[in-house]
Chains A and B, each alone.
Chain A
Amino acid sequence: METAKFIVITGHYGCGKTNFAVNAALDIAKTGEKVTVVDLDIVNPYFRTADFKELLNSVGAELTVPMYANSNLDIPALDFDLIGLKKREGRIIIDVGGDDEGSKALGRFLPVLQGDSVMLYVVNKYRYLTSTPEEALELMREIEYASGLKCSGIINNSNLGEETNAETVRNSLKYAEELSRTAGIPVAATCCKAEYANGLPAAYPVKVYVKKPWEE
């Protein structure tokens, strides 16, 4: 993947940023490189990276979460500083909250991130408000504006949750290509289960870690 210190993961609410962030962190850790995941979600009270502390720690990956994440204190407080984190060895994956609202949290860290980060834009064709390349591009621009950073790659994470099959993924390729063409940045990865990866452009086999409590 990219060589920058910070990998910033943005996208629409519910497009699968967290699942991608967890997969990417586990894969980086597997190569022996150090990796830290930062949960920068100031929007979502449920289903967030903070849920995966044990899993990440089990492969030697670190997790930094806001002190109130997953507590009953529903406030967007970020009680840490990326300057400190920058001194840490290895990669730092930042899982950002959804939409431009979530991306505002990046603004404060801009001086740290500029020049040493890549921002990836996760999309899901099957999510409302980003189901056409035009809508997805519009939101990408809003996120870039809110964060002060430019997206450099598209992560096509198109899925229908538990009903995802090979066709679901295949039917999203054109959408991702069209977004790539209009946005002027490449499709960096097409996320799918390993069994569907064959023949897909930039296929990135992922596991589904973000689950509902009855699926565990």
Chain B
Amino acid sequence: MAEKSLMKGNEALAEAALRAGCKCFFGYPITPQTEISAYLSKRMPKVGGTFLQAESEVAAINMVYGCASSGIRCMTSSSSPGISLKTEGISYIAGADLPCVVINVQRGGPGLGGIQPSQADYWQVTHALGHGDFHALVFAPASVQEMVDTVTKAFDLADEFRMPAVILADGLLGQMMEPVQFDDAEIVLSDASKKPWAANGHQNKRKHNIINSLYLQPDQLEDKVAERFKRYEKVKAEHSEAVADYCDDADTVVVAYGSTARLAKSAVEAARKEGMKVGIIRPVTLWPFPVKQIQKACENAKNVLVVEMSMGQMIDDVKLAINCSKPVEFYGRTGGVIPKPAEILAKIKEMGGKN
């Protein structure tokens, strides 16, 4: 392994994309994710890739649509308001069964909102990342190293299941610095060799490959969507992920993802030190949602606490995961305010007396 280095989350995401073979990046600047673009603008030309700053987010995602059609690994990144602009394009990409990676370094919303960290795009990314019947893979890493490892996984699964993958970070993860390690493997940018469906020139050796999301007959479209949903079932069965700590004997189980999981874990550990039986489960994939893992983690709990940097969005999925079998409470801050471990601890204590 190479020597460790200290990287900002955004830089690490960018370098990891190169190492995953991402050949083309299309972006448009927005705080707090601009370092991804800035980094790739310097690095891409040196390794034979393409960095392109588009005229808008809408243009950038449609460049991804075109590039992905040719079978080449490509990526775009933005922050909340920019992701909203990209949703039409993401829907087309899903409708054309194309793989790509989209990074959302979330900031406060709605509207122009703010530039401080937030997790208020949970509903959007898991339930409505564009119009139509479709899903995207959604990963929620919680450290800079995990962001690095997630990028490769996101590209691999996007290719395998021919669907868009989103890495859902937030301003805190994007801006903070942590030690990271990359493996020594040489950077090999992707080509379309393993993608027989790619529209990259038939050379008179095969039939045309046509990339399209328009179906003239309703029953054809229905068949296509149904086929896609069969694939989703496979993804759900094989690729949901969560990390549980201290849950076996926990009276209260905290559910939190991304940077909020780091804050919540620090509160959980403080509670344990005071002798309280508290555990934490961190969804690593938000779609597919780790339903079974959450059921198991909450099996012996009296109550459940969901912590998010929003007014409470994932909480609905947690309630569904455990079939509302026990009380699920919420603590969150929004608008770019980061919940303090002490605030979370106070909420845990408040719940300690209930069952």
Contact B179 A160 (CB under 8 A): yes
Q: For the complex formed, measure the closest distance between the CB of A165 and the CB atoms of chain B, giving whole angstroms.
A: 11
Q: A74-B31, A74-B115, A128-B7 are in contact. Are A212 and B341 (CB under 8 A)?
A: no
Question: A213 contacts which of B8, B15, B35, B172 (Cβ < 8 Å)?
Answer: B172
Check: B262 CB closer than 8 A to any chain A CB: yes
Known: A72-B336, A74-B31, A213-B338. A128 touches B5 (CB 8 A): yes
Q: Which of A124, A161, A214 contacts B341 (CB 8 A)?
A: A214
With A72-B336, A131-B5, A214-B263 already in contact, the answer to whether A126 and B176 are too (CB < 8 A) is no
A45 touches B5 (CB 8 A): no
A14 beta carbon closer than 8 Å to chain B: yes
Contact A126 B4 (CB under 8 A): yes
Interface check B226, CB cutoff 8 A: no
Q: How far is the CA of A124 from the CA of B6 in the complex (A)?
A: 9
Min Cβ gap B254→A in Å is: 13
Q: Does A195 contact B (CB under 8 A)?
A: no
- State whether A72 and B176 are in contact (beta carbons under 8 Å apart), knowing that A14-B6, A45-B31, A212-B262 are contacts in the complex: no
Q: A72: which B residues are within 8 A, CB to CB?
A: 108, 113-116, 336
> Do B262 and A161 touch across chains, with their CB atoms under 8 A apart?
no
Contacts of B263 in A (CB 8 A): 213-214
> Does A127 have its Cβ within 8 Å of any Cβ on chain B?
yes
Interface size on B, residues (CB 8 A): 31
Binary CB contact string for chain B from 110 to 130 against chain A (1 if under 8 A, 0 otherwise): 000111100000000000000
Q: How many Å from the CB of A192 to the closest CB on chain B?
A: 15
Interface contact B108-A214, CB-CB below 8 Å: no
Kindly identify which residue among A45, A128, A131, A215 contacts B32, using a CB–CB cutoff of 8 Å. A45
8 A Cβ contacts from B94-151 to A? 108, 113-116
**Docked complex: A148-167 residues within 8 A CB-CB of B:** 159-163
Do residues A163 and B32 form an inter-chain contact, with CB atoms below 8 A? no
Point out the residues of chain B lying under 8 angstroms from A212, CB to CB: 172, 176, 262
0/1 interface trace, chain B 257-288, chain A, CB 8 Å (1 if under): 00000110110000000000000000000000
List residues of A (44-66) whose CB comes within 8 Å of B's CBs: 44-47
Distance in angstroms between the alpha carbons of A141 and B88 in the assembled complex: 45
Q: Are B175 and A128 in contact (CB under 8 A)?
A: no
Judged by a CB distance under 8 angstroms, whether A13 is at the interface is yes
- Name the residue in A13, A14, A214 with the highest tally of chain B Cβ atoms < 10 Å from its Cβ: A214
Chain B residues contacting A131 (CB-CB under 8 Å) are: 5
A124 to B177, CA, bound (A): 13
Residue from B5, B7, B176 in contact with A47 in the complex, judged by beta carbons closer than 8 Å: B176
Complex contacts, B340 vs chain A, CB 8 Å: 213, 216
The docked-state distance in angstroms from the alpha carbon of A72 to that of B172 is: 14
CB distance from A214 to the nearest CB of B (A): 4
> What CA separation (Å) do A174 and B25 show in the bound complex?
37
Is B262 touching A214 in the complex (CB atoms < 8 A)? yes
CB 8 Å contact bits of B168-182 with A (1 = contact, 0 = none): 000110011111000
For the complex, is B159 an interface residue (Cβ under 8 Å from A)? no
Which residues of the partner chain B approach A162 to less than 8 Å between Cβ atoms?
178-179
Which residues of B are found within 8 Å of A126, using beta-carbon distances?
Answer: 3-6, 179
Q: Does B308 contact A (CB under 8 A)?
A: no
Q: How far is the CA of A201 from the CA of B47 in the complex (A)?
A: 39
**A160-B4, A161-B6 given; A46·B175 CB < 8 A:** yes
B251 lies within 8 A of chain A by Cβ:
no
Q: Nearest-CB distance from A162 to chain B (Å)?
A: 7
Residue-wise, chain A 118-140 has the 8 Å CB interface mask toward B (1 for contact) of 00000010111001000000000
Query: Are the CB atoms of B31 and A161 closer together than 8 Å?
Result: no
Min CB distance A18 to B, Å, is 11
Please state if A45 and B6 are interface contacts (CB–CB under 8 Å). no
- Distance in Å from the Cβ of A171 to the closest Cβ of chain B? 9
Contact of B266 among A46, A163, A214 (CB under 8 A): A214
Q: Min CB distance, B202 to chain A, in Å?
A: 41
B9 to chain A minimum Cβ distance, whole angstroms, is: 11
**Could you mark each residue 27-49 of chain A with 1 if its beta carbon is under 8 Å from any beta carbon of chain B, else 0?**
00000000000000000111100
CB distance from B191 to the nearest CB of A (A): 27
- Identify which of B3, B8, B178 contacts A13 (C-beta below 8 A): B8
B22-34 CB mask vs A (1 if < 8 Å, else 0) is 0000000001100
Q: Quick check: B177 and A161 within 8 Å, CB to CB?
A: yes
Q: Is B57 positioned at the interface, with any CB of A under 8 Å from its CB?
A: no
CA distance in complex: A44, B35 (Å): 10
Residues of A close to B241: CB separation below 8 A: none
Given contact pairs A46-B171, A72-B108, A72-B336, enumerate 6 new A-B contacts (beta carbons under 8 Å): A46-B116, A72-B116, A126-B3, A214-B262, A214-B265, A214-B266
* Interchain Cβ contacts under 8 Å between A and B, 14 examples: A14-B6, A45-B171, A46-B171, A47-B176, A72-B108, A126-B4, A126-B6, A159-B6, A161-B178, A163-B179, A212-B262, A213-B341, A214-B263, A214-B265
